[in-house]
Structure 1
Amino acid sequence: MLKNSEQNYGLVSRANHWLSAILFIGLIALGLYMHELEKSPEKFELYDLHKSLGIGLFMLMMLRLVWLKVSPNPEQLSKNKFEHILGHAVKGILYLAMIMMPISGWIMSNSGGHDVSFFTLFTLPNFVGENEIIHEIAEAIHGTAGLVLIAIILLHIAGALKHHLVYKDATLLRMLGKNKKEQ
């Protein structure tokens, strides 16, 4: 089943979710690691990899937004109104971060005098010339959004585990392509 149903996530949504999760966690780890490195050819190669993966994640996010119009997500299983609202808020912040992080990184690179390319296949247009003030603002947004993102991802994981371990509902199983009966 490619599309989502009223009860379950389809293959497209599940694949996008898990690929995005792996990329996001990898990008955060890579970003933290390379930030601490001294300037060197290795550091610039890692920056190029980080930018390429960031573009890939941005493309997945755009696909996700289009797919939501084609195949809406199943309704949350939470019966607690606060948790239902919190779940929507966390998802909204995750979506916003998946858009803000690559855009702020793109602006940060361009305003720092660097191109942004996708694995040397193509280079994104340079909308912002070299500008120290814009660079510092974009860098602050990118860094702050990264920290917020770490917190939101941890909250997202905690919520999924609470549903699975405490409520024993199918929230996590649905994202694994299983339903409650298969457990």
Structure 2
Amino acid sequence: MSSTHDIQAHGTHTQDRFQWRDTGLGFSPVTIALHWIVAALVLAIIGIEIALVASPNVELAKVLNLLGTILFPISAYRFWARVTSWHPLPLGTPNPVEVIVSRSVATALALAMVLLPVAAWLAKSAAGQLVEVPGGWIIPSPMHPNAQAAQVFDVLFKIGATPFVLGLALHIFGACKNHFVLKNDALKRMLGKRVEL
């Protein structure tokens, strides 16, 4: 009996230790780490975009390009992981409509963070702008300059960016509601804490 219990405990410990994908019981360490990396990247990108509108700066624009370049592959992996893994069960007994809305928003945000950097890259390339990053590196352009295509990609970027910012605000609102109003451990779970469902 004791040995069986030890084996089960060891198996659970091993499973927890090497949990690289999300399960119905919790987020993987990879998901948690990438969530906060992406959050930092997105907030930095939004901050730089605002700064560039106020005062154009070539070097700051290069940093923006670099952050977008880093964001794309991370977001592509996160979206793939999101749609191919079990999403952890919600804490407590939440309203089913809220669960559907929050998961839909989170999935849409994950997809937007894949598509928006691509749209920005295509818009700049079609406009004939060099996509430079710090260090003198230039990201290759996938197309020749085309004013009509540049206008289309720019419109697509703006169409996607507006609901993205609104969705991001809703996501942050939901996190704050869980933490300050409902007082559950949803935010703590995204900080790596093991919580009871």
TM-score w.r.t. the length of structure 2 is 0.78
Distance (whole Å) between structure 2 residues aligned to residue 122 and residue 59 of structure 1: 18
Deviations 1:122-146 (A, max 9, x none): 6444222111222122222223322
Q: Give 1:22's match in structure 2, choosing from 20, 24, 40.
A: 40
Gaps of 5+ in 1: none
* 1:70 shift after superposition: 6.8
- Aligned equivalent of 2:29: 11
- Aligned equivalent of 2:7: none
Distance (whole Å) between structure 2 residues aligned to residue 75 and residue 116 of structure 1: 41
2:163 matched to 1:145? Answer: no
2:61 matched to 1:47? Answer: yes
2:101 matched to 1:86? Answer: yes
Is the 8 Å Cα contact of residues 126 and 147 (structure 2) preserved in structure 1? yes
* 1:100 shift after superposition: 1.9
Q: What is the identity percentage for the equivalent residue pairs of Structure 1 and Structure 2?
A: 26
2:193 matched to 1:175? Answer: no
Gaps of 5+ in 2: 1-16
- Aligned equivalent of 2:90: 76
Local SS of the residue matching 1:76: coil
Alignment-mate amino acid for residue 137 of structure 1 = V
2:45 matched to 1:32? Answer: no
Name which of structure 1's ranges 20-29 and 46-55 shifts more when overlaid on structure 2. 46-55
Distance (whole Å) between structure 1 residues aligned to residue 114 and residue 36 of structure 2: 17
Name which of structure 1's ranges 121-130 and 170-179 shifts more when overlaid on structure 2. 121-130
Alignment-mate amino acid for residue 25 of structure 1 = L
* 1:117 shift after superposition: 4.9
* 1:174 shift after superposition: 0.9
* 1:120 shift after superposition: 4.9
Following superposition, which runs of at least 4 residues in structure 1 exceed 4 angstroms of deviation? 117-123
- Pick the structure with greater CA Rg: 2
- Aligned equivalent of 2:116: 101
- Name the CA shift for 1:161/1:50 in 2 (closer, same or farther; >3 Å): same
Cα RMSD (Å):
2.4
Distance (whole Å) between structure 2 residues aligned to residue 119 and residue 71 of structure 1: 36
TM-score w.r.t. the length of structure 1 is 0.83
Name which of structure 1's ranges 128-137 and 72-81 shifts more when overlaid on structure 2. 72-81
Distance (whole Å) between structure 2 residues aligned to residue 70 and residue 144 of structure 1: 27
Is the 8 Å Cα contact of residues 27 and 54 (structure 1) preserved in structure 2? yes
- Aligned equivalent of 1:57: 71
Distance (whole Å) between structure 2 residues aligned to residue 64 and residue 120 of structure 1: 28
